[in-house]
Amino acid sequence: MFHFFAKHKEETINRKVEELNETIQDCDLTNSLSQNVEILQKLFIDVDVLIVRYIQNSQNSSLKYCIAYCDGVVNSTIINDNIIKPLVLSNVAVAGSNLIDNLMSHVILINEAEKTNKIKDIVESISYGDTILFADGSNEALILNTKGFLTRALAEPDNEKILSGPREGFNESLIQNLSMIRRKMRTNELKIKYFTFGRITKTKACVCYIDKIVNKNLLNELYRRLNAIDIDAVLDTNYITELVKDSALSPFRTTGYTERPDVVVGKLLEGRIAIILDGTPVVLTVPYLFIENFQSSEDYYLNFYYTSFSRILRMIGFFLTITVPGFYIAIVAYSLEMLPTSLLINIASARKSVPLPAAVEAFVMLLVFDILRETGIRMPTSIGQALSIVGALVIGQAAVDAKLVAAPMIIVVAITGITSLLVPKMNAPTIYVRLFLLLLASTLGLFGFILGLSAVLIHILNLYSFGVPQLTINGSLQFQEIKDTFFRAPWTRMITRTKSMTQDVVRMKNDSEGRHD
C-alpha cells in the first residue's frame, strides 16, 4: 500500500517535471544572456555532459557570448578555431540590433549555421552535436554545426558477403550513408526527403527515390503511412518496417532490407523507394516482391548463366527447407507404399529400435537444430568449435548410435538446416511454414501436407507490398516481366523495368542489337 503511494507520488513528480519541461521548451529565448543560459541549464539538469562556456571579446568587453554544447558529440578543434577564436579576437563591429546576423556573416567560421529563438530547436540540436551560441542582448541564438562523433569505418557487411562487386557497406551515420548513395548517382533526379521519427529519440530518417522512375502513387502511400507513425523511439529500420508493412502479422517480408549502397542504388533505379534511418546501417526498400527473397546483388555482377543457376538453387533450397521434414513424415508414417522397396527396407531397419514415433522425432530434432543455430548466432566466436563438436558428434553420431534417433531423420534435419541458410532473408517464414507443414503432415499425412502447402501458397499470393502484389504478375505473362525472376536474363535483354513499380518502364532505348523496343 505504502509502496503504491510512494510510486504514485513519484509519478506525480515526474509528470510535473515533464510538464515544466514542456512549458519551458515551448517558450522563446529572452534578451538576457544569463537568463537564456539558466533556462538551458534547467532543462539539462542532471545532464552532466552539457558544457557552458562564457566568452568575452578582447576588443570590446561589452560583447559577451556564451557557447553551449554536449561533450563527446562535438569536434573541439572546430569549436576552438572557428567559434571561440574569432569571437574572442574579432574586431568587427557587430553590436546592434542585428547582432546575431552580423555574427553569422562576419565572425563565425562555420559552414552550417542557423538562427533560432525556439528553445525546442536548441534542445534537439545540442543533443546531436551542434553548438549553441548565445549573445548578450539578443533574443536569438545560433545553432552551429560542430558535429564530430565517432562512426564505424566502412566495411563489407558480414551478412551480405558477395564474391565480386562493390564491397563497401553502410555504417550508422545517415549523412555518410547518403553520401555513399549520392556518389553512385550524379543526378538531381535523386530526391532526398528528411523525416523525423520517435518522440524521444527524434531520429532522423530520409526517403530516397528517383523522381522520373518512381511510381508517384506508391510514394504518396508511403508518405501517408510514414506520417501516421507515432512512437517514442526508432532504433532500427525494422521498427518502421513493422509499422508500415501491409500484412502486419504475416511472417513473410513485404519490405526489403540491405546494408549495401549498390543494392540500394540498384533498387532505386528499378523504381523502388529507400528509407534510410540514422543510427542503423540497415536501409529499407519498398515495394518488395517475393522474388527479391531469392535475388542477390551479385546476381547482376557475375555471369548470368552462373547466377541464374544459383538463383534457381536458392528457390529449390527454400522449397526443400519448408517441405522436407513434412514430406518425409507424410511418406514414412502414412504413405509407405510410395517408398521404393530398397529405401523402405533401409529406413525400416534404421527405425527398427527407435523409441519415438517418426513425427515426434522430427519435431524434437528440428527443435534441437534451431537451438544449435540460435546458439551459433549468440555465442562468442571462440566457443564455435565446442558447439560444432557437440552438434555434430553428440547430436548426430551419438544419437544415432544410441538408437535415440534414426539416421534418416538426421539427414532430413541436415538437409532442412543447410537449405534454410540458402535464403537468409526468409528465416522467419521458413521456421513457421516448416513446422506448419510438419504438423499437418504428421496428423493428416500427404493430404495434410498438400493442404498446408496450398494454404501457404494462397497466403503468399495474398501478400501485397504497398499495393503491389508480391507474387502475381499484372496482365499477361511476358518475357520482360519474368526476365529477372527464375533466371537473370543478360543485361542486353533487360530492356524494361518492372511495370507495377515504375512510371517509366524504359531502361534501354535501343537494345544492344539496335532493335527498338
- Interacting positions 50-89 with other proteins (CB under 8 A): none
| DSSP H stretches of helix in 143-233 | 174-184, 216-227
The binder of other proteins chosen from 447, 464, 472, 496 (CB under 8 A): 447
- Interacting positions 105-124 with other proteins (CB under 8 A): none
**Does residue 248 interact with other proteins by CB under 8 A?**
no
Give the DSSP letter of residue 484. Answer: B
**Closer by beta carbon to other proteins, 333 or else 372:** 333
What b-and-e string marks burial along 458-497, b requiring 16 or more CB atoms within 10 Å of the CB? eebeebebbebbbeeeeeeeeebbebbbebbbeeeebbbb
Distance set, CA 46 to CA 35, 41, 50, 54, 130 (Å): 19, 9, 9, 20, 19
**Does residue 439 interact with other proteins by CB under 8 A?**
no
Site string for other proteins, 353-382 (x = CB under 8 A): xx--xx------------------------
Give the DSSP letter of residue 152. Answer: P
**Closer by beta carbon to other proteins, 3 or else 352:** 352
Judged by CB under 8 A, the number of residues near other proteins is 24
- Beta-strand pair 141-145/130-135: antiparallel
Rounded to the nearest 10°, the torsion over CA 477, 480, 486, 490 is 160
Q: Which of 449, 452, 442 is nearest to 356 (CA)?
A: 442
The binder of other proteins chosen from 351, 434, 488, 497 (CB under 8 A): 351
**Does residue 461 interact with other proteins by CB under 8 A?**
no
**Does residue 431 interact with other proteins by CB under 8 A?**
no
Residue 54 parent element (H or E): strand 50-56
**Does residue 437 interact with other proteins by CB under 8 A?**
no
Alpha-carbon distance of 312 to 318, in angstroms, equals 10
> Are 115 and 140 contacting, i.e. CB atoms less than 8 angstroms apart?
yes
Task: Indicate if the alpha-carbon torsion angle 333, 339, 345, 351 is positive or negative.
Answer: negative
The binder of other proteins chosen from 344, 489, 494, 508 (CB under 8 A): 344
**Closer by beta carbon to other proteins, 343 or else 367:** 343
**Does residue 345 interact with other proteins by CB under 8 A?**
yes
- Beta-strand pair 50-56/64-70: antiparallel
Q: Which of 267, 243, 241, 265 is nearest to 255 (CA)?
A: 241
The binder of other proteins chosen from 35, 349, 397, 512 (CB under 8 A): 349
Q: Which residue has the cell 555513399?
A: 180
Question: Shortest gap between Cβ of 364 and other proteins (angstroms)?
Answer: 15
Question: Shortest gap between Cβ of 406 and other proteins (angstroms)?
Answer: 9
Query: Per CB under 8 A, which region of 56-64, 261-269, 352-360, 465-473 contacts other proteins?
Result: 352-360
Question: Shortest gap between Cβ of 203 and other proteins (angstroms)?
Answer: 36
Question: Shortest gap between Cβ of 441 and other proteins (angstroms)?
Answer: 11
The residues that bridge with 205 in the sheet, in sequence order, are: 195, 277
Question: Shortest gap between Cβ of 470 and other proteins (angstroms)?
Answer: 22
Alpha-carbon distance of 253 to 296, in angstroms, equals 16
Question: Shortest gap between Cβ of 458 and other proteins (angstroms)?
Answer: 12
Question: Shortest gap between Cβ of 341 and other proteins (angstroms)?
Answer: 5
The binder of other proteins chosen from 341, 381, 382, 476 (CB under 8 A): 341
Give the DSSP letter of residue 64. Answer: E
**Closer by beta carbon to other proteins, 128 or else 363:** 363
**Does residue 445 interact with other proteins by CB under 8 A?**
yes
Site string for other proteins, 320-339 (x = CB under 8 A): ------------xxx-xx-x
Distance set, CA 478 to CA 269, 308, 474, 482 (Å): 21, 18, 10, 7
Residues that bind other proteins (CB under 8 A): 332-334, 336-337, 339, 341-342, 344-345, 347-349, 351-354, 357-358, 444-447, 451
